[in-house]
Amino acid sequence: MVKQEQVVCITGASRGFGEAAARELAQRGHLVVATMRSPDRDGPTVLKGLPQEEADRISVTSCDVTGRDSIAAAVQFALDRHGRIDTLFNNAGYGLYGPVEDFRDEEILRQFDTNFIGQIRMAQAVLPSMRDHGSGKIINVSSLAGKIVGPLMGLYAASKYAVEAMSEALRYEVSGWGIQVTILEPGMYQSDWQVASLDVAQTVREGTSVYQTAVDAALAEFRARAATRPGSRTVATSVADIVEMEQPLPMRWPVGEDTEQAIRSRESLTDAQWEAQMRGESTGYRSAFFRAQPGASSQT
């Protein structure tokens, strides 16, 4: 039995981590406001197969984190329905894959508008009500890519590095009102964005990138590896544990053995040692991107 019923607002709840978290929280007896851009299309998927008692705990509504009016309406919906928001799971976002040189301004701006500024907009929208109640939790979704970056993930990682910095500052700023902020850092999972909905640079889609051969090889390897990883349930369990945690939240919450191992490895190496490892010069392993680069056959 749940110790105390919590009201949790989730962005990007139509699939992946958001959908799994909504279902997990409802199963544990919490009230969920599952927001998404297209609730008529995607809402039924969140509720599919749940016992009626659990389905009744999930309210689906529209929210586009790139629009302040949409956010305000979603937050007001939650407050009108439940009177409070105990936790914001700031999850909406997507992956953008490709070489930094290739990205166009509109691709760069859209990535940051959704992954980074969207989180700020949502936090700003829920903080007044949390302050009034003298408590609240904000779970900002970062990534292993918020700590470690490889080729072709530069823009996505940059948006997550920004989330890390913003979230740490926000944590300090709101703590005086009893509001806690933690940074969720999932590794690679078989989530929707890593398998089916990963966005790629337009030049790559068109086949005109000067990096095309290396990108094609790396993208195939990335998707194949993601397809072998566990599903989103592990991340959803962590989110529910954070919601229910009675002790002060840690600043960061890594999820997955790959995240923990990679962070420990990175922290133990110099920049030169880490770069050599990434390129396969010290381990004998080289990712598909480096294997397919011009001159790769002459590299050791």
Give the model confidence (pLDDT) of 255-282 as tens digits: 988 888 899 999 999 999 999 988 887 6
Strands in the chain per DSSP E: 7-10, 31-36, 58-62, 87-90, 96-97, 136-141, 179-186, 199-200, 252-255
Within 10 angstroms of residue 118's Cβ, the number of other Cβ atoms is 25
Catalytic residue among 14, 167, 191, 287: 14
Per-residue b/e over 248-266, b at no fewer than 16 CB within 10 Å?
Answer: ebeebbbbbebbeebbeeb
Instruction: For residues 9-25, give the mean pLDDT.
Output: 96
Catalytic residue among 97, 147, 160, 167: 160
Phi, psi of 199 (to 5 degrees): -85, 150
CA angle (204, 206, 210) in 5-degree steps:
50
Catalytic residue among 156, 161, 189, 211: 156
**Is the pLDDT confidence value at 201 over 80?**
yes
Instruction: For residues 146-152, give the mean pLDDT.
Output: 93
**Known active-site residue 14:** yes
Measured CA distances, 62 to 23, 25, 169, 181, 290 (Å): 18, 19, 29, 24, 42
CATH of 7-258, one of 3.90.950.20, 2.40.50.100, 3.40.50.720, 3.30.1330.40: 3.40.50.720
**Is the pLDDT confidence value at 247 over 50?**
yes
Instruction: For residues 202-208, give the mean pLDDT.
Output: 96
pLDDT digits (tens, 9 = 90+) for 80-117: 999 999 999 999 999 999 999 999 999 999 999 999 99
CA angle (17, 19, 23) in 5-degree steps:
115
**Is the pLDDT confidence value at 138 over 50?**
yes
Instruction: For residues 135-156, give the mean pLDDT.
Output: 95
What's the confidence (pLDDT) of residue 112? 98
Catalytic residue among 142, 167, 209, 232: 142
**Is the pLDDT confidence value at 2 over 60?**
no
**Residue 33 structure tokens:** 């406001």
pLDDT digits (tens, 9 = 90+) for 4-14: 999 999 999 99
Residue limits of CATH 3.40.50.720 in the chain: 7-258
Residue 252: strand pairing partners: 183
What's the confidence (pLDDT) of residue 20? 95
DSSP string, 36-56: ES-HHHHHHHHHTT--HHHHT
Q: Indicate the DSSP class of residue 88.
A: E
Residue 224's identity, in one-letter code, is A
**Known active-site residue 142:** yes
pLDDT band at 3 (very low <50, low <70, confident <90, very high): low
pLDDT band at 300 (very low <50, low <70, confident <90, very high): very low
What's the confidence (pLDDT) of residue 25? 98
